[in-house]
């Protein structure tokens, strides 16, 4: 009898909590420009073009030529970070073969713009779909993370915009303030909630009152915050990275029972394969790969000084992530298998976006601003997400989030896919797989059949 009473009390509490659960979070407002706000935002949108100069290239080459290398330990691969033997090969290509002017022209193949929001000049790429009879065109915002940039999406853009399918997308790719060509905040406190609000204002300024969102890494959190702030504007939210935010009995039971009786906790065989046999090993691997987060979440300006001054140091710091986060097994290889999935031209173009804009320090500060308080106590962590949601679970992502865990936060999951290959930088590494899964999700939301 006592047991049934406890069950009844628990069920009542759960139903009351569900009824009172917040379905949105405050939009808020902010000003991140110099000094006090004296004027309203300039609502105009200005064309922008990526440019370079001989002076910029000559300065880069001079700094590269002055680099001092340290001999790596024997047979260490990428276990200690970017292997300096392979680094010298990458830098030699950068110095003698990489054509920055050619890559600038490639960046300018799509239209770039800037507009001022909350005191910051916000950069974005805006690609419209060619008009085709009978084709439905839907607006979509793609949001990058660290240490990526808007350039991560250049391979997926034509797959979404220039398609003969009955669905196509008009795509907006903004740079997070402090990244690339978006102006860095001049005041403390700029976090994902502020980036989300700015991007919502951007979409409103562009004339969109209903749109889709897609993101990974920081882009996953920012787009999720956008869906929490204005759920009425978000047709659907598609993510390729999910962070586990809930702890407690549910997670403990999942980890204890999951390896042996996965069906009792809603796990599939693939969940078991990705999480076990040793969950502790996954946690250890995550700790091994999160040292950068502790630095950037505490004293970003200190480490950032060296990266902002040394192009080779910056390249090693950024490109090591593109090796290990693509597949952790790459740590055992001297070249980090870096060129298996990416070209050096593409990788160095991403590095050059950070180098030429001097944005590595403000991009690192974004970690400190988001971790100043316990993320579990933030309003977005305590608020569910009620818009249609889809998840592409890539096998080499830093952490796997099974569907039952995702349901703790996302209340309307329409699509959950176990991707056959790929890691953290999905749009950069496996653009076709990500595009296909995103379109499949949108079809479910729109009720369209192929």
Cite the active site residues.
217, 367, 424
Measured between alpha carbons, how far is 370 from 224 in angstroms, rounded to an integer?
A: 14
Q: How many CB atoms lie within 10 A of CB 95?
A: 15
User: Which residue's structure tokens are 């952490």?
Assistant: 399
Give the β-pairing of 112-117 and 120-127: antiparallel
Contact 224, 139 (CB under 8 A): no
Cis peptide preceding 365, ω within 30 of 0: no
Distance CA 297, CA 292 (A): 8
The residue assigned the tokens 């390896």 is 259
| 351-367 as b/e: b if 16+ CB within 10 A | bbbbbbbebbbbbbbbb
Q: What is the spatial distance between Cα 247 and Cα 147, in angstroms, rounded to a whole number?
A: 28
Q: Classify 167 as helix, strand or coil.
A: strand
One-character DSSP codes across 336-380: TTHHHHS-HHHHHHHHHHHHHHT-HHHHHHHHHHHSSS-GGGSTT
Find the largest Cα–Cα distance for the chain: 82
Contacting residues for 39 by C-beta, under 8 A, at least 6 apart: none
- Between CA 82 and CA 68 the distance in angstroms is 14
**In degrees, to the nearest 5, what angle opens at C-alpha 135 toward C-alphas 111 and 131?**
40
């Amino acid at each position: 009898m006592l047991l049934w009473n406890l069950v009844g009390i628990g069920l009542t509490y759960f139903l009351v909590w569900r009824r009172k659960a917040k379905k949105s979070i405050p939009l808020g407002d902010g000003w991140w420009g110099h000094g006090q706000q004296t004027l309203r935002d300039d609502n105009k949108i200005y064309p922008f073009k990526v440019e370079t100069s001989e002076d910029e290239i000559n300065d880069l080459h001079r700094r590269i030529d002055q680099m001092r290398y340290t001999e790596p330990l024997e047979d260490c691969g990428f276990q200690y970070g970017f292997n300096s033997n392979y680094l010298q090969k990458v830098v030699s290509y950068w110095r003698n073969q990489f054509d920055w002017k050619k890559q600038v022209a490639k960046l300018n193949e799509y239209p770039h713009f800037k507009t001022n929001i909350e005191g910051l000049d916000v950069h974005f790429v805006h690609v419209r779909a060619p008009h085709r009879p009978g084709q439905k065109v839907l607006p979509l915002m793609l949001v990058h993370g660290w240490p990526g940039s808007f350039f991560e999406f250049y391979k997926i853009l034509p797959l979404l915009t220039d398609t003969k399918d009955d669905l196509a997308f008009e795509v907006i790719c903004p740079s997070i303030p402090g990244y690339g060509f978006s102006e860095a905040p001049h005041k403390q406190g700029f976090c994902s909630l502020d980036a989300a609000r700015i991007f919502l204002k951007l979409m409103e300024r562009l004339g969109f009152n209903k749109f889709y969102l897609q993101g990974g890494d920081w882009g996953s959190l920012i787009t999720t915050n956008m869906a929490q702030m204005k759920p009425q504007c978000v047709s659907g939210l598609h993510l390729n990275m999910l962070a586990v935010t809930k702890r407690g009995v549910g997670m403990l039971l999942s980890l204890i029972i999951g390896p042996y009786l996965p069906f009792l906790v809603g796990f599939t065989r693939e969940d078991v394969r990705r999480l076990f046999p040793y969950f502790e090993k996954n946690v250890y691997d995550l700790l091994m790969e999160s040292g950068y987060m502790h630095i950037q979440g505490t004293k970003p300006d200190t480490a950032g000084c060296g990266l902002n001054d040394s192009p080779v140091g910056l390249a090693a710091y950024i490109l090591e992530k593109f090796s290990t986060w693509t597949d952790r097994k790459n740590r055992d290889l001297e070249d980090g298998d870096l060129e298996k999935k990416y070209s050096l031209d593409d990788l160095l173009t991403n590095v050059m976006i950070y180098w030429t804009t001097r944005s590595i320090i403000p991009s690192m500060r974004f970690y400190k601003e988001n971790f100043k308080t316990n993320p579990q106590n933030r309003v977005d962590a305590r608020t569910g997400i009620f818009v249609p949601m889809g998840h592409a679970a890539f096998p080499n992502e830093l952490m796997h989030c099974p569907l039952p865990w995702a349901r703790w936060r996302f209340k309307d999951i329409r699509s959950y896919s176990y991707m056959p290959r790929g890691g953290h930088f999905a749009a950069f590494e496996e653009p076709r797989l990500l595009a296909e899964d995103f379109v499949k999700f949108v079809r479910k939301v729109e009720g369209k059949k192929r």
